[in-house]
Structure 1
């Protein structure tokens, strides 16, 4: 709504007030838009660019130029979800919150002090952030084996040879395949 609509009729006709409205209208529009966006910065899932910048500054995260908003939110959630002491249940909660219920597998071989984490191919862009999280929260006496959960034979079952022929070997192993693959 135009600023002039709030004024009495006699002020709307004055040239000086029309110029004043023209000068102040963009400022008020920008302030209103910022006010409507403010609730988005209350939750990490809906952070705006400005909200991400503020949280990155608060958490001491390096600014990655060219990263999209979803990746920045993920990095912020990764840092915010860290909590010690380390337990497998808590690590599972952290990874579920970041990668989703089906986005990872987690196994601990206590005899060999080996923690194995496999991320789903859909979480490929989160691999380095997940590695940083594990580096910060996993005790140093455990060896971490982190990699992607590539497509395997059971992933491709039910597909015809003709359907699989449309892909290269590299694509069959390394890419999220359409139709549930």
Structure 2
């Protein structure tokens, strides 16, 4: 509090106490804004305003129900385009985009094919993952990026009655809890 820095003679005067309360609020606003400026220097810690500024630079339009985290991932995937691309850097970028367990990659170098499956929990990132793979993978690979739909192992814990209450599309494409 600002009044802690005043001399004792004026610390307990009501007018000065009122001034101190107002000044404390203003000092808090300045400190918060300085913190935001520091956080906005890095994509991983950027505020809504910092991410919006980078989205504008990169011509990205966020979805209406995007979280700040998903917007950060999208900006990160566009921002960090550094050559040369390697398999390891592609996996690192996919991990940033989809999370550690959000995807799987099957590379068949003998047949020049790559299959990337994106988990249902991050299905919004499927298009971003597809764009990332197409940009980073060699041109001679046949690339297939798809969603990993619910498997029999996921569905076997449900009864027929529970499954009957859901649509086929819901069973196949939604994250079941």
TM-score (norm 1): 0.73
Q: Any unmatched runs of 5+ in structure 2? A: none
Q: Cα 1:161–1:25, aligned 2, differ >3 Å: closer, same or farther?
A: same
Q: In the TM superposition, what whole-angstrom CA distance separates every residue of 1:92-115 from its partner, at most 9, and x where no partner exists?
A: 232233323321121234455332
Q: Any unmatched runs of 5+ in structure 1? A: none
Instruction: Give the whole-Å Cα distance in 1 for the aligned partners of 2:88 and 2:28.
Output: 48
Bigger Cα displacement from structure 2, 159-168 vs 41-50 = 41-50
1:154 equivalent to 2:159? Answer: no
Instruction: Give the whole-Å Cα distance in 1 for the aligned partners of 2:109 and 2:22.
Output: 69
Count of equivalent residues: 174
Instruction: Give the whole-Å Cα distance in 2 for the aligned partners of 1:77 and 1:94.
Output: 8
What is the alpha-carbon root mean square deviation over aligned residues? Answer: 3.2
Q: In the TM superposition, what whole-angstrom CA distance separates every residue of 1:64-101 from its partner, at most 9, and x where no partner exists?
A: 25443111111133235544333333322322333233
Q: Cα 1:134–1:14, aligned 2, differ >3 Å: closer, same or farther?
A: same
In the TM superposition, 1:19-58 aligns within 5 A as: 21=20, 24-36=23-35, 40-41=39-40, 44-53=43-52, 55-56=54-55
What is aligned with 1:79? 78
TM-score (norm 2): 0.74
